[in-house]
A and B are shown apart, each in its own frame.
Chain A
Amino acid sequence: MADLLAQIATCIERGKVNAASPYPPDMKGQDGANELVRKALDEGILPDDVLQKGLVVGMNSIGQKFSENKVFVPDLLMAAKAMQAGMAHLKPFFESGAAHHKGTFICGTVQGDLHDIGKNLVCMVVEGGGYKVIDLGVDVSSEKFVAALEANPGAVIGMSALLTTTMVNMEKTTKLVKEKDPSTKVIVGGAPLTDEFAKKIGADAYSPDPQGAVKFLSQVA
Chain B
Amino acid sequence: MPELTSIERIGNILRRKPVDRIGVFEHFWGDTHKKWTREGHIKEGESLDDHFGFDISVCWCFNLVAKLNFEPEVIEETEETVLARDGNGAVLRRHKLHDSTPEHVDFLVKDRAGWEQHIKPFLTPDRARINFEAYRNVKRAAAERNRFFVWGGVNVFELMHPVCGHEYMLVGAAVDPDWVKDMVDVYSTLTVQLMETLFAEEGLPDGIWFYEDMGFKQRPFMSLDMYRDLIQPGHKKTIDFCRGLGLPVIMHSCGYVEPLVPGMLEAGIDCLQVIEVKAGMDLLRLYKDYGDRLSFMGGMDVRKLYSNDRSLIEEELASKIPVVKGHYGYVLHSDHSIPDQVEYESYKYFVQRGLELGTY
Which residues on the A side are within 8 Å of B340 (C-beta)? 165
Alpha-carbon gap, A24 to B216, bound state (A): 25
B213-236 interface code vs A (CB 8 A; 1 in, 0 out): 000111111110010000000000
Contact A117 B222, beta carbon cutoff 8 Å: no
Alpha-carbon gap, A15 to B173, bound state (A): 13
Contact B217 A191, beta carbon cutoff 8 Å: yes
Contact B303 A112, beta carbon cutoff 8 Å: no
Which residues on the A side are within 8 Å of B95 (C-beta)? 112, 114, 139
Q: Describe A's contact surface by its main secondary structure.
A: loop
A67-83 interface code vs B (CB 8 A; 1 in, 0 out): 00101111101100100
Contact A208 B217, beta carbon cutoff 8 Å: yes
Q: A15-B174, A139-B103, A192-B303 are in contact. Are A117 and B218 (CB under 8 A)?
A: no
Q: Is B166 an interface residue (CB 8 A)?
A: yes
Partner of B223, one of A72, A163, A165, A194: A72
Contact A114 B94, beta carbon cutoff 8 Å: yes
Which residues on the B side are within 8 Å of A74 (C-beta)? 170-171, 173-174, 221-222, 226
Q: Is A61 an interface residue (CB 8 A)?
A: no
Contact B339 A165, beta carbon cutoff 8 Å: yes
Q: How far is the CB of B243 from chain A (nearest CB, A)?
A: 29
Alpha-carbon gap, A152 to B173, bound state (A): 37
Nearest A residue to B161 by beta-carbon distance? A117
Which residues on the A side are within 8 Å of B221 (C-beta)? 72-74
Which residues on the A side are within 8 Å of B100 (C-beta)? 112-115, 163, 166
Nearest B residue to A139 by beta-carbon distance? B81
Which residues on the B side are within 8 Å of A81 (C-beta)? 171
Nearest B residue to A24 by beta-carbon distance? B174
Contact A77 B278, beta carbon cutoff 8 Å: no
Q: How far is the CB of A215 from chain B (nearest CB, A)?
A: 16
Q: A22-B175, A23-B174, A117-B166 are in contact. Are A164 and B339 (CB under 8 A)?
A: yes
Q: How far is the CB of A187 from chain B (nearest CB, A)?
A: 15
Q: A22-B175, A165-B339 are in contact. Are A72 and B222 (CB under 8 A)?
A: yes
Alpha-carbon gap, A192 to B337, bound state (A): 13
Contact A77 B103, beta carbon cutoff 8 Å: no
Alpha-carbon gap, A72 to B223, bound state (A): 6
Which residues on the B side are within 8 Å of A66 (C-beta)? 219
Contact B220 A72, beta carbon cutoff 8 Å: yes
Q: A77-B167, A115-B101, A116-B103 are in contact. Are A69 and B259 (CB under 8 A)?
A: yes
Alpha-carbon gap, A81 to B216, bound state (A): 21
B299-321 interface code vs A (CB 8 A; 1 in, 0 out): 00011001000000000000000
Alpha-carbon gap, A116 to B339, bound state (A): 20
Report the interface size class on chain B.
35 or more
Q: Is A118 an interface residue (CB 8 A)?
A: yes
Which of chain A's residues 28-84 have a Cβ closer than 8 Å to chain B? Answer: 66, 69, 71-75, 77-78, 81
Alpha-carbon gap, A76 to B222, bound state (A): 11
Q: Is A138 an interface residue (CB 8 A)?
A: yes
Q: How far is the CB of B113 from chain A (nearest CB, A)?
A: 15
Contact A165 B217, beta carbon cutoff 8 Å: no
Contact B303 A164, beta carbon cutoff 8 Å: yes
Contact B98 A77, beta carbon cutoff 8 Å: no
Which of chain A's residues 82-107 have a Cβ closer than 8 Å to chain B? Answer: none
Which residues on the B side are within 8 Å of A209 (C-beta)? 217-219
Alpha-carbon gap, A69 to B259, bound state (A): 10
Q: Is B61 an interface residue (CB 8 A)?
A: no
Alpha-carbon gap, A99 to B93, bound state (A): 37
Contact A165 B341, beta carbon cutoff 8 Å: yes
Partner of B102, one of A71, A114, A166: A114
Q: A77-B174, A165-B339 are in contact. Are A72 and B226 (CB under 8 A)?
A: yes
Q: How far is the CB of B259 from chain A (nearest CB, A)?
A: 7
Partner of B103, one of A75, A115, A192: A115
Contact B175 A164, beta carbon cutoff 8 Å: no
Q: How far is the CB of A180 from chain B (nearest CB, A)?
A: 25
Which residues on the A side are within 8 Å of B339 (C-beta)? 163-165
Alpha-carbon gap, A58 to B255, bound state (A): 27
Contact A69 B219, beta carbon cutoff 8 Å: yes
Nearest B residue to A192 by beta-carbon distance? B278
Report the 10 A-B pairs with minimum CB-CB distance, sorted nearest first: A114-B103, A74-B174, A23-B175, A74-B170, A72-B223, A74-B173, A138-B103, A191-B217, A73-B221, A77-B171
Sampled A-B contacts (18; CB under 8 Å): A22-B175, A69-B219, A72-B221, A72-B223, A77-B170, A113-B100, A114-B95, A117-B104, A117-B166, A117-B167, A117-B216, A120-B167, A139-B80, A139-B95, A164-B302, A191-B276, A191-B278, A208-B218
Binding site for B on A (CB under 8 A): 15, 21-24, 66, 69, 71-75, 77-78, 81, 112-118, 120, 138-139, 162-166, 190-192, 194, 208-209
